[in-house]
Structure 1
Amino acid sequence: MVKAGLIGILCAVLPISLSAQETPRLSITLAGAETTGDACRLSFLGQNELGADLTSLVLEAVIFTKTGAIERLLLLDFQDLPASKQRVRQFDLGGVDCADLGKVLINGAQSCDGVDAGDCIARLQTRSNVKGLEFTG
């Protein structure tokens, strides 16, 4: 009787765990931040696992300072992002020292051509490889 109960629990939980791992996603990693001259160059690694090519991906980002003030709002044009491929995109923020930045927030998607509306944000997974600079969506 204990075995039957345990098997029932495992059968109930296992499909949820598997489906969560298989959920298509759009993964964007803040891979670098380097001050170059009078600009901060942010490098992002994007990987599209949504099951379809993205012919255009433009994300609205909010850049915050370490003190929490909004430094600027901008559009990050990732151009195309083919399915199951990785792409690196770089963006220069003029007049900014990277050491002054604290967070990059993806506020929304201006365009996400190739999948149903809303999937880019609903399935967005963000992470930062830059110490001291948070990246969230």
Structure 2
Amino acid sequence: MLPASAQDDLGARLSIELNQTESRDAGCTLSFLVQNGHPADVTRAVFETVLFDAAGQVERLTLFDFGTLPAGRPRVRQFVVPDAMCEDLGRVLINGAETCEAEGLSADACTRDLRLDSRVGIEVIG
């Protein structure tokens, strides 16, 4: 669990951080740290995601299914981008929520005040 000060900073929103990348034979593995600051679980979160190459051109549009995001608990989700090298990616755009299911939360719970960050050389925007 995050320290109280980090939880307070998160507020009632989702936070998605690109935490690590790794190029493998199968493609580029993107590891995201996700925190749900809402008072209720998000039972399913699927984000439309656009990957850009280092030159700023769209490399592909895909859906990342983050699954269940329990309230107040961090989760790590990994996605393999087939036939891609992490070194060739320059930016990740969270284009919106394809699916956001959360009992007792508003319909925009996955996108309202979404906090995005990156610990690697690939920018994350939304």
* The two structures share one fold, judged by TM-score above 0.5: yes
How many percent of aligned residue pairs carry the same amino acid?
46
**Secondary structure at the counterpart of residue 121 of structure 1:** coil
In structure 2, what residue type is equivalent to 1:113?
A: E
Give per-residue Cα distances to partners, 1:12-56, cap 9 Å, x unaligned.
xxxxxxxx9574110110001100114000000000001110100
Q: List alignment gaps of at least 5 residues for structure 1.
A: 1-19
User: Which aligned segments of 4 or more residues in structure 1 are displaced greater than 4 angstroms?
Assistant: none
Question: What is the alpha-carbon distance in structure 2 between the residues aligned to residue 22 and residue 108 of structure 1?
Answer: 19
In structure 1, what residue type is equivalent to 2:124?
A: F
Question: What is the alpha-carbon distance in structure 2 between the residues aligned to residue 117 and residue 52 of structure 1?
Answer: 13
Question: What is the alpha-carbon distance in structure 1 between the residues aligned to residue 113 and residue 61 of structure 2?
Answer: 22
Q: How do 1:89-128 residues align onto structure 2 when only pairs under 5 Å count?
A: 89-114=77-102, 115-128=105-118
Question: What is the alpha-carbon distance in structure 2 between the residues aligned to residue 123 and residue 52 of structure 1?
Answer: 16
Question: What is the alpha-carbon distance in structure 1 between the residues aligned to residue 18 and residue 119 of structure 2?
Answer: 6
**Secondary structure at the counterpart of residue 99 of structure 1:** helix
Q: How do 1:20-99 residues align onto structure 2 when only pairs under 5 Å count?
A: 23-99=11-87
Q: List alignment gaps of at least 5 residues for structure 2.
A: 1-7
Question: Which has a greater percent of helix?
Answer: 1
Deviation at 1:123, TM superposition (A): 2.1
Structure number, greater radius of gyration:
1
**C-alpha RMSD of matched pairs (Å):** 1.4
Tell me, yes or no, if the aligned pair for 1:38 and 1:97 is still in contact at 8 Å: no
* Higher-RCO chain (CA-CA 8 Å, sequence separation at least 6): 2
Find the counterpart in structure 2 of residue 136 from structure 1. Answer: 125
TM-score of the superposed pair, with normalisation by structure 2: 0.88
**Secondary structure at the counterpart of residue 120 of structure 1:** coil
**Secondary structure at the counterpart of residue 111 of structure 2:** helix
In structure 2, what residue type is equivalent to 1:120?
A: C
Tell me, yes or no, if the aligned pair for 1:26 and 1:50 is still in contact at 8 Å: yes
Number of matched pairs: 117
